[in-house]
Chains A and B, each alone.
Chain A
Amino acid sequence: MRQDDLYINKIDWLTILIYFALVMIGWFNIYAAVYDEQAAKSIFDFSINSGKQLVWIGTAVLLITVIMVADYRLFDNLSMILYGFFLLILLLTPFIGKEINGQRAWFELGPFRLQPGEFAKFATALALAKFIEKPSFDLSQPKYQFQAILIILIPVSLIMLQPDTGTAMVYMAFFIMLYREGMPQKYYVMALVFIAVSLLSLGVENNLYIAVPVASLTVILILMGKKNWQRIITLCLIGTAVIAYSYSLDMVVSKLPAHQQNRIMVLFNPDLDPLGVGWNVTQSKIAIGSGGFWGKGYLEGTQTKFDFVPEQHTDFIFCTLGEEFGWIGSLVVVALFAALLIRLVFLAERQKTRFSRVYGYCVVSILLFHFMINISMTIGLFPVVGIPLPFFSYGGSSLWSFTILLFIFIKLDSHRIQLLGRMN
């Protein structure tokens, strides 16, 4: 008995509290999103999404129980097997998956529909943790960098076959974890420059606005620094590459499928096609923007209620919150997510083994990525990509996969002392 008490005390209840807070707010929002005043049904009604979501929440609690009572060594031991298993499923999905919206990203198991791409995340996270766990694993060396990236790229390429760009994109989140584990900083600087140049060259009308400042900057750098040939040539090459890239990007974008092109263009000009491609972003912004400071009140939203915002109970669930609870509601949810993420960073840092720390950072990375991209796209800061808001969006795959992802870490954290003992 004394040991059990101790175990319960070792569980990080704060994280679990935030998790349930988010899940419950999410559940109320799903009810609001599907609420119809003229045919009002109970939030528990299984014929509407809020009722179904309650089933997913209930089963998620079951999953949590299973994870919490399972042997903590299981995840370490099973990590590569799980990874292999999900790769196999991902490989099969394009062939036996159910086609929805031109994608075969869903797996039908009787009455249930599951999205393997979502679940493969925690398996990939475990595999990465397992790999990086070795003391010899040094991310400053290209060999190990390559191995880590390969582990990420295999599921990504399989998901792209479905094709599910949004989900595949989320795997980029693992680079946040890799950063913590020692991936050279220059890659991130380069990536940031790359993103900045990309955004700029897509955003400005004429690429001369980029070419001229970059060329000038190059010349200034050459004049200011030491005048050795190697440095001058390197700077010239970089400058030329940046300019060439900005020019070629427009060409590349023009080769993309029309709908992806439009999503990118709409980001820069949402009024471009308010009834067509811009519809989602425009309506989403109207819904959130009309919430004002205090919101319209629970179940009082009009934009989300009357289907102006598409997919509002899944990817656009944040609209319901923004409309009905206003900026205050948004503040609470954004703060809860930030608190959860910061708490998880804290937990990850206190891990005694590299395995659980890497896994913890994987959880942080994926949640941060989803949180950032999902809300950004609803308020027009990022192109529309179909990824859910963790714990909020309607759907079993999403809730289950995030729950599993998070609670494996909570489980690992609660055994951090024992894990240390095992290692030693």
Chain B
Amino acid sequence: MNENRHSVIIIVIIIVGLVLLSKLFMIQVIDDSFLRRAERNAVQRIVDYPYRGLVYDRNDELLVYNNPVFDLMVIPQEFNIVDTAKFCKLFQIEKEELKEKYKAARKYSWVKPSPLIKQISNTDFARIQDYLIDYPGLFVMTRSVRAYPDSVASSALGYIAEIVPRQLERDSAHYYNQGDYIGHSGLESYYEKFLRGKKGAKYKMVNVRGVDKGSFKNGQLDTASIPGLNLQSTIDMALQKYGEKLMKGKRGSVVAIQPKTGEILSMISAPVYDPNLLAGSAYGKNYLKLRNDSTKPLFNRPIMAMYPPGSIFKIVQSLIGLQWGIITPNTTFACNKSLVACHNHPSPVNLFGAIRNSCNPYYHQAFRMMINQDISNNTFTDTQIGLDKWHEAVEKFGLGGKLGVDLPYESSGSVPSSKLYDRIYGKGRWKYSTIYSLSIGQGEMQVTPLQMANLAAIFANKGYYFTPHLVKSINGNPEDIPEEFTTKHDVGVAPHHFDMVHDAMAEALYGTAMRAIIKDITIAGKTGTAQNPHGEDHSVFVAFAPKEDPQIAIAVYVENAGWGGRAAASTASLMIEQYLRGHIERPALEEYVLAGDFGD
């Protein structure tokens, strides 16, 4: 009666086998997540960090290098100290901190290393090195931090720091991991991809306790790190250093450009901070200090600060007027102070006189002719047409938009178009009398010091510029720099119009900036005073020199230092002398600037 039951048992055996094989097929063949989990389990990836690229100045002086530092690591299982007080004294760590770190390390892993003291300097390491052998479970991991031999150009160079979550999210290529270092500002940030190099990896097999069991697949998958590329910056270290010295104790910007190439020779954001503050173990503390400093040392003024261009903009107005044929060098206007205030000078003046004397009524009247060309019978419409045409012409001078310098966080400044006034006053409800302050570079106009320096370069070049930039070559190859820095931008003004401007700018020094005059070097410059509703006006000066063959174009802003002829012109003049001569022959002027009292 039970004779058929053996077939049932055979069927059961077959079913058991098939169920096991199906489940095995599912986890072994279909679901490949187990393979990945296995590798995560047993194969430890040890990142081989590349050496970050160095940064040189234009004369191959080292600006940024890497300094080795040491992280003291602890393996809790092996760690054992007899005399805690002695240990703390030797390793310069607070007892509480030691306890805390040890606790954290133990919580992380009993057998894997955790950092105990981070970024021990070379000298401290030399001191403790010999004692390490007395403490089992401690070992040292070498890393490097950025170092700056001359502590200059912090705002241009930027700094590197641990990656923040926002940057990590944007890293679609997944190059970075939590805790990695990345450029946070300046060249370090802009050229991150070149500087960072390529990480290598060693694959090690570890057992369940994290103990090293040798290389994975005999190191076949291991890759060596590739060091980052070196950058040659356009900065002239001597000039930069001298400029930082001059700007000591002041607030403002200095930007010097080689006009023929757009290379930035010097870029100073005062107050200057020491770049070494943001490298190494005190980063967090120093960063907070700098960020909370009321003088805003981390604010990169040359590219971020915006001021009204003031009188310097009159040169742009002159050039546009000449190009459009609205005015000629002989066009004369009376210095009608009922239109706009002016200071005393002979009247009437022609264009040369207007530039030399910075005559406000002249530009009020000339600008009106540029804006209201009677294209429309409706004066409101006519103003709108004229303004937009003018706006277009001004933009060509690199104003009202980002220049595209190779630094992050550049401001665009602003040059108003009809849209802005439509928004403020309503369409068809504003006319020339609303916008006349633009004629003299006031009102709704804002420019960055970099844009001003670029204007100086345009004047020097008689009508063109290269986007200002801070990189001369990448790993020794000048042709590797981004193409936009070798593209010529024409401002749409015929070169011959500049001849008169050059003469007037050279002459202007004798009117408004006597201090800036250098014997044997002809400087063409223009003072400005940027009105500051919050306090003392900002002193502004733009110039290029020598007038005959411009080598340097410069813009200097000194905040709250009164009008342009004193602080800014003096500083610019010294910078020019330093750059062209390599030394200063006017110690008195240098003293005057260093003293920083521009009250006269």
Contact = CB atoms under 8 A, between A and B. Distances in A.
Interface of A: 36-38, 176, 179-182, 283, 285-293, 302-303, 305-308, 322-323, 326-327, 330-331, 334-335, 337-338, 341-342, 345, 348-349, 361, 364, 368, 371-372, 375-376, 379-381
B21 A286 contact: no
Contact of A330 (B2, B24, B34): B24
Contacts of B440: none
Contacts of B14: 338, 342
Given A342-B13, A379-B23, A326 B6 contact: no
A368 B11 CA distance: 12
A345 B37 contact: no
Contacts of A331: 21, 24
B42 A302 contact: yes
Interface stretch (B84-92, B203-211, B225-233, B564-572): B203-211
B82 interface: no
Given A330-B21, A364-B9, A289 B35 contact: yes
B29 A303 contact: no
B5 interface: yes
B2 A334 contact: no
Contacts of B42: 302-303, 305-306, 308
Contacts of A176: 9, 12
B208 A306 contact: yes
B165 interface: no
A345 B31 contact: no
B17 A288 contact: no
Given A303-B42, A306-B207, A338 B13 contact: yes
B38 A338 contact: no
A306 B214 contact: no
B213 interface: yes
A361 B6 CA distance: 9
A286 B13 contact: no
B32 to A, nearest CB: 8
Contacts of B38: 286-287, 289-290, 302-303, 323
B13 A182 contact: no
B28 A292 contact: yes
B288 interface: no
Given A303-B42, A330-B21, A285 B13 contact: no
B23 A306 contact: no
Most chain-B Cβ atoms within 10 A of its Cβ — which of A283, A285, A361? A285
B104 interface: no
Residue among B17, B19, B33, B207 with the highest chain A CB neighbour number at 10 A = B17
Contact of B214 (A37, A286, A361, A371): A37
Interface of B: 1-2, 5-6, 8-10, 12-14, 16-17, 19-21, 23-25, 27-29, 31-35, 37-39, 41-43, 205-209, 213-214
A372 B12 CA distance: 11
Contacts of B25: 327
B41 A286 contact: yes
Nearest to A282: B37
A392 to B, nearest CB: 14
A327 B28 contact: yes
A-B residue pairs, 8 tightest by C-beta: A289-B34, A290-B38, A306-B207, A302-B42, A289-B27, A338-B17, A327-B28, A307-B208
A335 B28 contact: no
Contacts of B24: 288, 322, 327, 330-331, 334, 379
Nearest to A340: B13
B208 A285 contact: no
A341 B13 contact: yes
Contact of B16 (A290, A371, A379): A371
Contacts of B39: 290, 302
A330 B213 contact: no
A250 B315 CA distance: 89
A90 B137 CA distance: 49
A303 B20 CA distance: 21
Contacts of A379: 20, 23-24, 27
Contacts of A348: 6
A47 B213 CA distance: 20
Given A302-B42, A331-B21, A379-B20, A179 B5 contact: yes
Contacts of A337: 17
B214 A38 contact: yes
Contacts of A283: 41
Nearest to A335: B17
Contacts of B21: 327, 330-331, 334
A327 B29 contact: yes
Contacts of B208: 306-308
B215 to A, nearest CB: 10
A334 B33 CA distance: 24
Contacts of B41: 283, 286, 302-303, 306, 308
B406 to A, nearest CB: 47
A307 B207 contact: yes
Given A179-B5, A286-B41, A306-B42, A322 B28 contact: yes
A364 B208 CA distance: 38
17 contacts: A38-B213, A38-B214, A179-B8, A181-B2, A286-B34, A286-B37, A289-B27, A289-B38, A302-B43, A305-B207, A306-B207, A327-B25, A327-B29, A330-B20, A330-B24, A338-B13, A379-B24
A179 B1 CA distance: 12
Contacts of A285: 27, 34
A334 B9 contact: no
A306 B34 contact: no
For A306, A348, A375, which residue has the most chain B Cβ atoms within 10 angstroms? A306
A179 to B, nearest CB: 6
A286 B32 CA distance: 10
A182 B2 contact: yes
Contact of A290 (B20, B34, B206, B214): B34
A364 B32 CA distance: 35
Contacts of A287: 38
B12 to A, nearest CB: 8
B70 to A, nearest CB: 29
B470 to A, nearest CB: 49
Contacts of A303: 38, 41-42
